Structures are given as C-alpha cells and as structure tokens.
Amino acid sequence: MASKTLSPEFKLIADWIHTQSRVLDLGCGDGQLLDYLIQHRSITGYGMEIDPQKNIKAIERGINVIQSNLNSHDICDYFDEDSFDFVIMTQALQVVSRPDLLLDEMLAVGKQSIITFPNFGHWRNRAQLFFGGHMPQNKSLPNPWYNTPNIHLCTFNDFEDLCEEKDIEIVARTVVNSRHEPTFAMRFAPNWLGEIALYRVQRKT
Amino acid sequence: MTDEIGIVTPQKLHVSTPLEMVSGSTLPQYDLAYETYGSLNTDKSNAILICHALSGNHHVAGQYEGESTKGWWDGYIGPGKPIDTNQFFVVCSNNLGGCHGSTGPASINPLTGKVYGPDFPIVTCKDWVHSQNTLRQHLGIDAWAAVIGGSMGGMQVLQWAIDYPDQIRHAIVIAAAPKLSAQNIAFNEVARRAIMTDPEFHEGRFIEAGTTPKRGLALARMLGHLTYLSDDMMGSKFGRELREGKLNYNFDVEFQVESYLRYQGEKFATKQNFDANTYLLMTKALDYFDPAADFDDDLSKALSKATAKFLIISFTTDWRFSPDRSHEIVKALLDNDADISYAEVNSQHGHDAFLLPNDHYEGVFRAYIDRIHAESNQQTKTKSGGA
C-alpha cells in the first residue's frame, strides 16, 4: 500500500490537508503524494510534472497529471484564481528560475500553499563553506555546484523575509532533520539546526 | 509478448434511416465500412472506437488476405500491444464521405442511379459522430470504454465527448486542435485549388468522365506532407542532398526532398486511388470543425457537458497542430474540473509523430489504456455483483 512507503515529508504534509479539498501538486513526481491524499483524504485535483518517466508512473497510478515545465508556463495559464484549497510544491522551490514569481502564482490559484525546501543555513552547510571553503555537498544537497538543479537555494530566514516582503502570512511551519524528525533543539535555532522546512502560507487578508 | 492480429475482413453496416446533416442536407441511406479486432466481452464494457485521420480509413490493424501491408496503426493495436486486443474490442469505421467502403462521393446516388461526385452533401465532424453512434447501437455497445483518435480523428473524439457524453468513458485526443487556424485553413484551400483546377477534375464529375485529377490530388498530398513533417525532420532526412550528386541547373527533380514529395503525391493519387472529392470533403470538414461555435465561442462551455476522462497528447515539433493547440483543449477541460492528463511528447517527427514509434508516447498510452482496462474490469465486477 502507498501509505506504508509514504515518505515522512509527505506524511507531515498530509496532516495539513483536510478531507475533500482540491489540491494541485507542482512537481508531483510519480504522483505518490496525490495518490495518498486521494485515498486517505478524498481529495481531487491535479499534479504537474515535467519528467516523462515520472509522468508515465503518475498515469499508471491513476493520477490526473499535466506535463508542464514550471519555468516556461505560468500556472495561471492553466488555472483560474482560487481554483485550489492547497497548492503543494515539495523540494522544488530552489530549482525554478523565479521562486518569488512562482510563489505569487501558487497563491493566486490556491488559497493556501505548502512549500518544502532544504535549508541552506543548516550548520553543516555553513561549516562546509566557512571551514572547508567549499560549496556544501551532503545528503540533502548531493550535487556538486557546477551540476545542480538547485539554482536558488535559500535559508529559512531568507524565505521568511521573502514572505514578509510579499505580504504572505506563514500559517504553519515544521522544521525537521533529514530523517524528517523534529528535535527539541530545532525549536530554538531552526535556521541552524533544521535541515528541511515545511511551510504552509497564505495571502494576508 | 506481442503477437499479430493476422488476416482481417472489413464489414459493412447499411443504414436505411435518413441522416439529417449539419449542412441541412439529408442522406437518405448510407453504408459504413468498418473493421473490428478482439472480442466484445459479455457486458460489452471493453469496446474502443478509433477515429481515423484525413487520408486514413477503417483498416487500422492487421492485414487483408493476400496483402502484405498492415493497417495504419498496427504498431499500437494487437495482442500485447498498447491497445491490447486480448483485452479490448476495437472498432474503426471509414468516415462518411470517405472512399474506402463507406458511402461517399464515389458511391452511387440511389436517387439518380449515378455516381454522387460533387453532389455528395458536405459532411461535418458532427455528422461522422452521429453516424458512428448508429454503428455503436448496431454493435449493441452502451458506451465506448474509450474513443481514440489523432489529428482529425482527435477532433472527432472531442465531438464524441461533447455530443454523446454518456456513451464515452474515456477520450484520447492526440495531436489535435479545438479548431483550425487561418493558416491551417489556408493550406487546405491551396490543396483544394490544386484539385479543382486540374483539367481532369471536370467540376467533380471525373468518374463519369472516365478520368481522375491525379495531378491536383498529388499536389494536394505533397502540400499535406509538408505540414506533417517538421523542418528538423526534413533537414535530417534529406538536407540539401542531391539525387545525382550534382546540380543540373534545370527543373527536373534534383534535391532528394523533391523526389520524396513527388513520390508521396504520386503514390496517393495513383496507387492508393484516393477519391479527389473525398479529399475536398475531408478538408472542408476540418475547416468547419469548431465545437465552441455553438457555445458562444467558448470551448470550456462546449466541453462542460462532457463527462469522459481525457488524455491529451501533443508532439513538440508538430506545427500543424502544435502543443499550444492542445493546451487550449487542456485549459478548457481544466476549467470544467475534468479528469484529464496531458503529455507533451518530445519528437522530431512533426505532426506525423502520432503514427510513429516513440517510447514516451507509447509509455503514456500504455499506462492510460491499462487504467481503462482496470476500470472496465471493475465495471464488469460491479455489474455481475449487482445482478
């Protein structure tokens, strides 16, 4: 069953999704999260994915998946305002060409957005740069600097500053380590100790 | 394991109920030529209708006795192939106005006892769907598990979803458009002028005159081929390659691409014996296709009654019906919160790609068809459980 192999990150996201909501998953991969949400939250909605092989997998799962490049097509070309209760984007904010504009679009077509990304400000990254003098390369950032999809890495603080600037309200935030476990210490120094953050945001009313 | 369908025999349905056509004309009676592959299951839930493209016909798969060439989509239909005939009952009919067995301009008009020729009424996509629905009833099928088509066939699929929402569970629309662009119509018009200005056209009564407008038809086909291929494809296939390896400074065939086009045109006009009036009718039907026209030019509104689940596929280098045209369909379906998946397949083959092998295309196709199969099984179970 999908639920048994569901990644911890997806489990955390699923906790935020209420039943029968409409969901758009940007960069939905093979559709695992949507599949889980359909089965356990009775949601409806769509996934968007650029990778052909992942598209095929998603179709096999019975997911409604639109093959689209998030960098060349606006989500607003496809969907009207407030079409979704949730627009989810997991581990993809840092790979798009303009995360700030995408965030605007996500919050245009959806009432709330759920975004997850690796924290560039984690102490290990800082240490690699500070002491080693190298761009960080580790479990959550496995690629070398010259060949990485992660072109817009940021820290939790950076992201929160962007939200502030854009008048975006952070409804909830969960900070976890690479095994997706929250630790006690992270509550006091999330930008140092958190490896991955899950944000739930909405437009300020 | 893929196997072959083997020898197939076309069938014919004679319909004596008059067909009221969109143009206002009435066809008093007509024949529909069709082929079927695989077998219909007991609850008749596994039937798939294939709609053919402009120059296509009902011979989609398998081969005729004594002939070596296979149907035009044999690669995708058969035992173990993406449309698995071990699982599905596949039907394809020759469109009305065609020239391969269904009543068309080359048929005898029962009222006059003469060949219809130019008197054959203008047919539209809606008329085709209407007549195919009669075939559906004849075959005793409540609803198609899927209606599938590429190019003009894809447009027919859209029309099916709009006109008979309860008779189609899945719609697979490949390399199509919601209506023709001015450029598309322009190409069609040049093709028609090529045929109609051929001295052998005889105002459309060339059969009675004992001739065929071969030159016009060949030109129309050459033009068609231009729009089916991508610039890239032509470049890689022919480049500026010369037939004799040198320039001769005359108007004979010098470049390979010229030779290819002439061959295609020639083949179409002579060997395939395509009826010139049919070509005119088909291109007109394409020009007229615009399902949104009846709904304030709003495609979303046109598709609002459609209940089918959709798979839309486009090809990156197709400039006849480009991915942008498929986007229009996708957008309209999304407006209606329809169940829809969309794939944009990377291919260098232009519009022709929908007939050619391609891993991504086949993967998407197979995955989606498997889903339809699973659903059909589900339906069979529910039905037998409820009975």
Which ipTM value was assigned to this complex?
Answer: 0.90
**pLDDT at residue number B387:** 39
Q: Tell me the mean pLDDT in the region B291-307.
A: 97
- Angle (nearest 5°) at CA B373 between B372 and B375: 65
Which of B327, B344, B364 faces A56 most closely, judged by CB atoms?
B364
DSSP string for A124-175: HHHHHHHTT-S---SSSS-S-TTS-S--S-B-HHHHHHHHHHTTEEEEEEEE
Could you give the CA distance from residue B107 to residue B112 in angstroms, rounded to a whole number? 11
> Is the model more confident about A123 or about B221?
B221
* Helix count and strand count (H, E) for chain A: 9, 7
Q: Does the beta-carbon distance from B360 to A62 stay under 8 Å?
A: no
Q: What is the tens place of the pLDDT at every residue in A13-60?
A: 999 999 999 999 999 999 999 999 999 999 999 999 999 999 999 999
Interface mutation vs chain B, best among A21, A48, A66, A79, most B CBs within 10 Å: A66
Q: What is the tens place of the pLDDT at every residue in A56-89?
A: 999 999 999 999 877 766 888 899 999 999 999 9
Which of these ranges, A113-122, B305-314, B345-354, has the smallest mean pLDDT?
A113-122
Which of B331, B346, B364 faces A59 most closely, judged by CB atoms?
B364
Pairing of strands B340-345, A22-26: unpaired
Could you give the CA distance from residue B225 to residue B228 in angstroms, rounded to a whole number? 5
Which of B335, B337, B341 faces A65 most closely, judged by CB atoms?
B341
> Sorting pLDDT into bands at 50, 70 and 90, what band is B384?
low
- Percent of residues, chain B, with pLDDT higher than 90: 89
A59 touches chain B (CB under 8 A): yes
> Is the model more confident about B24 or about B384?
B24
**pLDDT at residue number B198:** 98
**pLDDT at residue number A130:** 86
DSSP state of B95: P
Q: What is the tens place of the pLDDT at every residue in B121-142?
A: 999 999 999 999 999 999 999 9
Which of B339, B341, B360 faces A52 most closely, judged by CB atoms?
B360
Interface mutation vs chain B, best among A67, A74, A82, A84, most B CBs within 10 Å: A67
B346 touches chain A (CB under 8 A): yes
- At B288, the amino acid letter reads Y
B383 touches chain A (CB under 8 A): no
B378 touches chain A (CB under 8 A): no
Chain B residue numbers touching A31 (CB-CB < 8 A): none
Could you give the CA distance from residue A149 to residue A156 in angstroms, rounded to a whole number? 19
Return mean pLDDT, chain B: 94
Which of these ranges, A120-124, A185-189, B300-304, has the smallest mean pLDDT?
A185-189
* Chain centroid offset of residue A125 CA: 20
Q: Does the beta-carbon distance from A52 to B363 stay under 8 Å?
A: yes
Segments of chain A assigned E as strands? 22-26, 44-49, 65-67, 84-90, 110-118, 168-176, 196-203
Q: Does the beta-carbon distance from A53 to B327 stay under 8 Å?
A: no
Q: Kindly state the tokens that stand for A173.
A: 């935030």
Return mean pLDDT, chain A: 89
B364 touches chain A (CB under 8 A): yes
